Amino acid sequence: MYTIIDIETTGGKYNEEGITEIAIYKFDGTKIIDQFISLVNPEIPIQPFVVNLTGINNEMLRNAPKFYEVAKRIVEITEDTILVAHNASFDYRILQTEFNRLGFDFERQTLCTVELSKKLLPDVKSYSLGKLVRELGIPMSDRHRASGDAKATVTLFKLLLSKDSKKEIVSSTIRLAPRRQVDKKLLRIIEKIPGETGVYYMHKEDGTIIYIGKSKNLKKRVIQHFTSDNRKSKKIQEDVHSVSFELTGSDLIAQLKENEEIKINKPIYNRALRKTIYQYQLNSFKDENGYINLKIEKADARKKPITTFTNYQQAKNSLFKITETYGLCQKLTGLYQTNAACFSYSIKECAGACIGYESPESYNDKINDFLKKNSFENHNMLIIDRGRDVDERSVVHIENGIFKGIAFYNLNYQISNTSVLKSLITPMSNNKDAQHIIQSYLRRNKVLKIINLDA
């Protein structure tokens, strides 16, 4: 199954572009079976030359959905498909950048119709989409608009499939990383790595750890290291002698172990991750009218945050969801700057705290409900998730709001008995990064269950 995609962007600096329009056609090799087409509000201005090229301007996008509002649909329509695009590396990079801003790992296999065309249509004069489809007699409308370009790419791809008599397209051109020859030493290492969730450790010949990472698929992640052309990956490829690993079953456990062990071992190629991994936090304060306000602020170790975020866009998107879920006021959560009623009040999703219609007591009850469910303060709980095999479970222990450590267990008795649980726990540091990892994971993922030890 394939999803043929085209994206229009704002233009601008590398990895700072925003999506202005996206079109996705789900294609079973014969016909289109599903589609998703939408303008997207990038929340940044469009470069003038892009406006001239596409005809999409800032005014057109004012009421368009933001990326986080369409992200779920993109994940669903592309799930278990191969992503196909004309110059796939560009569209795939833009999508990954947008999902990274949301704190979500978006990974798909890709096919590039530029590369396929060069192999299967060697005699055409140009491989730019417009000139190529014109030379092949493929009808095209709305050039430089996502829907028109994606629809033309569907027809082009269908032609390429028919021309591939040896059926080499999938086997020879699908890639997640740039194709490079992997030397025999690295191939031997890859053979021993499983495609499971865990933490991996890259060692020099003398056993020194030079890099620590985590992944939901260890083999795939190590292969990415060994096939990437970036500067750090090339150095790792030269220095690595062996890779050891520890399976965790749970991605939460893997993230916590990675964070803890990078800080302890300080591997030379993990310099960036030794620092704090979150940049923004959510704080609260009571205004002069007695209402509890929420505010996104830069990370500040002197303040005790409610929760933390990797970047501002992730913080803003999460606060929109919090405001909607708990019926809060956009003005009092800092999402709508006004001296009058907030936008949510106009659509009856805010009870009027912004204009004094809802009492501080009633509004603060909703805030406190949110704080109770999302703050670790005074919490005693166990977070239960998958283990390393079907009979095992993992546990994250929080005591009086302090992260104590992790463990694996097979019997409920082992966690219901306090002394046994404490003997199972591997102690870990209760640093701000660990708390961020736990809170962020619980916001974005479902765990098997949470046991409240105060109940």
**249-295 pLDDT, tens per residue?**
999 999 999 998 898 888 999 876 555 667 888 889 999 999 999 99
Mean pLDDT value of segment 69-75: 94
Higher-confidence residue of 430 and 455: namely: 430
The per-residue pLDDT for 176 is: 35
Band (pLDDT 50/70/90 cuts) for residue 54 is confident
Give the residues across from 292 on adjacent strands.
286
Mean pLDDT value of segment 369-386: 81
Mean pLDDT value of segment 167-190: 57
Spatial contact of 37 and 4, defined as CB atoms under 8 Å apart? no
**138-166 pLDDT, tens per residue?**
778 877 788 999 999 998 888 787 666 55
Question: What CA–CA distance (Å, rounded) separates 51 from 145?
Answer: 11
pLDDT at 181 over 70: no
Residue 339, helix vs strand vs coil: coil
pLDDT at 437 over 60: yes
The per-residue pLDDT for 435 is: 85
pTM here is 0.54
The per-residue pLDDT for 307 is: 84
Element (H, E) at 7: strand 2-9
Q: How far is CA 216 from the centre of its chain?
A: 13
Mean pLDDT is highest, among 172-176, 177-181, 276-280, 322-326, for: 322-326
From 237, 227, 85, 102, select the one nearest 150 (Cα to Cα). 85
The 10 Å CB-count burial string (b at 16+, else e) for 28-54 is eeeeeeebbebbbbbeeebeeebbeeb
Is there a common fold for 2-173 and 184-272?
no
Mean pLDDT value of segment 309-324: 89
The per-residue pLDDT for 454 is: 73
From 320, 296, 444, 312, select the one nearest 69 (Cα to Cα). 320
CATH superfamily, region 2-173:
Ribonuclease H-like superfamily/Ribonuclease H (3.30.420.10)
Mean pLDDT value of segment 413-439: 84
Band (pLDDT 50/70/90 cuts) for residue 381 is confident
From 405, 400, 404, 415, select the one nearest 448 (Cα to Cα). 415
The per-residue pLDDT for 256 is: 94
Domain spans in the chain, listed from the N-terminal domain onward:
2-173, 184-272, 280-374, 381-452
Mean pLDDT value of segment 428-441: 87
Find the range with the poorest average confidence among 110-124, 164-178, 376-390, 439-453. 164-178
Question: What CA–CA distance (Å, rounded) separates 383 from 145?
Answer: 46
**80-95 pLDDT, tens per residue?**
888 999 999 999 999 9
pLDDT at 114 over 80: yes
Q: How far is CA 61 from CA 19, 20, 292, 343, in A?
A: 11, 7, 33, 18
Band (pLDDT 50/70/90 cuts) for residue 171 is very low
Q: Average per-residue pLDDT in the chain? A: 86
Element (H, E) at 451: strand 449-452
The per-residue pLDDT for 122 is: 85
Q: Which CATH entry fits the domain spanning 184-272: 3.40.1440.10, 3.30.499.10, 3.40.50.150, 3.50.50.60?
A: 3.40.1440.10
pLDDT at 169 over 70: no
Lookup: tokens for 112: 């590039």
Q: How far is CA 140 from CA 155, 208, 209, 296, in A?
A: 10, 57, 54, 46
Mean pLDDT value of segment 1-8: 92
Lookup: tokens for 341: 């009623």
